[in-house]
């Protein structure tokens, strides 16, 4: 991981490192809410990626240096606050302004390509094979996601799926260029988890401990356990793969990043269900239709107007510039 270490060398004043860790944590939290942008990329941009990986490695091997604990706690707390406070807003934007948000997501995703490209350095045959594998795998996941959304929204959110979603989200904390939010979309858990977080926030604001405890136990605990397992497992697996199969591993990361764009076609919209359609395993009646949330609507593609097509291109360029700009900030730090 030599190419990564240039973004953030361990060392320097603890206060400055803590500030950078806080900024990186907020950016990572926002990244985990946004399909298309990677939390690992944001830590690279903030210049604390190496510190974060080193802190995880030390703590999982029971080495508790104060500096590492400060970095890890600061990043986790800052990310958690960003997720708690902004989950509802991001969810509403995705549900009601899908083509706008997805256009931005595409740009944010593509903006991570130069970051991974620089990490690769010299290009080899194994790198290209890895990239092809990653692209095909992500493309296949995107296809299955589209099939699921087209057949009717409302994926299952059982304990196992929520745990798996936590593992997927955690991967974005470790893998630059891989979006945890996008993986949650693929698994059908993006909107349910953001809705649960928003419900938890409102319950805490109103003092409704019953609802808060219910959401915490049924959503936050399985997702949280998945995140812990994912962070520890993926970080150690990544270190091992990069050590033994560096080019192939980085190639797979590049392929995953490029393949993610396949599932982010922006011109999609929710379609209100009709009586007789199946939503979350229930056949809709005239009465039950009144209680269906827009986040559970079936999604279909549509032909954009010239203005929408032009606006989408502009938003893609904007998203690309944001990610690329933040990554350059990390290089200059």
Residues in the chain: 333
Q: How far apart are CA 235 and CA 244, in angstroms?
A: 14
- How confident is residue 4, by pLDDT bands cut at 50, 70 and 90? very low
User: Other CB atoms closer than 10 Å to residue 84's CB: what's the count?
Assistant: 15
Q: Does residue 281 sit in helix, strand or coil? A: coil
Helix (H) or strand (E) holding 277: none
CA-to-CA separations, 211 to 68, 196, 202, 203, 227, in angstroms, rounded: 35, 10, 9, 6, 23
For residue 146, give both structure tokens. 């589209």
> How wide is the angle at C-alpha 54 spanned by C-alphas 50 and 57, nearest 5°?
145
Pair of tokens at residue 64: 């508790």
Tokens standing for residue 3: 């190419």
Contact 134, 251 (CB under 8 A): yes
121: left (phi over 0), alpha (psi -120 to 50) or beta: left
Structure tokens at 274: 């009709």
Tell me the domain boundaries of the chain. Answer: 2-332
Closest to 27 measured CA to CA, from 49, 4, 43:
43
Contact between residue 255 and residue 131 where contact means Cβ atoms under 8 Å apart = yes
Split at pLDDT 50, 70, 90, the class of 74 is very high
Q: Residue 295 gets which letter from DSSP?
A: G
Which residue, among 181, 111, 150, has the nearest Cα to 268 in the 3D structure? 150
Tokens of 160: 């196992």
Instruction: Give 87-101 pLDDT, tens digit per residue.
Output: 778 878 877 888 898
- pLDDT tens string 7-38: 444 445 778 888 888 988 988 888 777 766 67
Per-residue pLDDT of 96-148, as tens digits, reads 888 898 898 888 778 878 878 887 888 899 999 999 998 998 777 767 666 65
């Amino acid at each position: 991981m030599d190419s990564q270490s240039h973004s953030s060398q361990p060392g320097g004043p603890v206060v400055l490192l803590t500030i950078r860790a806080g900024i990186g944590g907020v950016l990572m939290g926002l990244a985990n809410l946004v399909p298309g942008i990677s939390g690992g990329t944001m830590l690279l941009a903030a210049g604390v990626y190496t510190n974060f990986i080193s802190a995880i490695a030390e703590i999982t091997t029971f080495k508790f240096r104060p500096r590492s604990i400060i970095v890890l706690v600061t990043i986790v707390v800052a990310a958690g606050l960003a997720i708690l406070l902004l989950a509802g807003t991001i969810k509403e934007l995705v549900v009601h302004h899908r083509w706008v948000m997805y256009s931005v997501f595409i740009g944010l995703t593509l903006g991570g390509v130069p970051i991974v490209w620089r990490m690769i350095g010299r290009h080899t045959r194994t790198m290209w094979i890895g990239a092809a594998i990653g692209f095909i795998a992500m493309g296949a996941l995107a296809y299955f996601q589209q099939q699921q959304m087209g057949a009717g929204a409302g994926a299952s959110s059982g304990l196992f799926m929520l745990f798996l979603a936590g593992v997927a989200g955690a991967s974005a904390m470790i893998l630059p260029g891989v979006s945890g939010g996008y993986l949650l979309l693929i698994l059908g858990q993006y909107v349910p988890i953001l809705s649960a977080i928003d419900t938890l926030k409102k319950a805490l604001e109103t003092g409704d401990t019953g609802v808060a405890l219910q959401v915490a136990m049924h959503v936050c605990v399985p997702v949280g356990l998945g995140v812990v397992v994912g962070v520890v497992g993926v970080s150690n697996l990544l270190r091992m793969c990069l050590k033994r199969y560096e080019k192939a591993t980085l190639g797979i990361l590049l392929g995953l990043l490029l393949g993610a764009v396949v599932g982010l076609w922006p011109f999609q919209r929710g379609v209100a269900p009709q009586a007789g359609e199946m939503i979350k395993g229930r056949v809709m009646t005239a009465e039950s239709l009144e209680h269906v949330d827009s986040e559970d609507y079936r999604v279909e593609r549509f032909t954009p107007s010239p203005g929408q097509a032009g606006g989408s291109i502009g938003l893609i360029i904007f998203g690309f510039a944001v990610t690329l700009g933040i990554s350059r900030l990390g290089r200059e730090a």
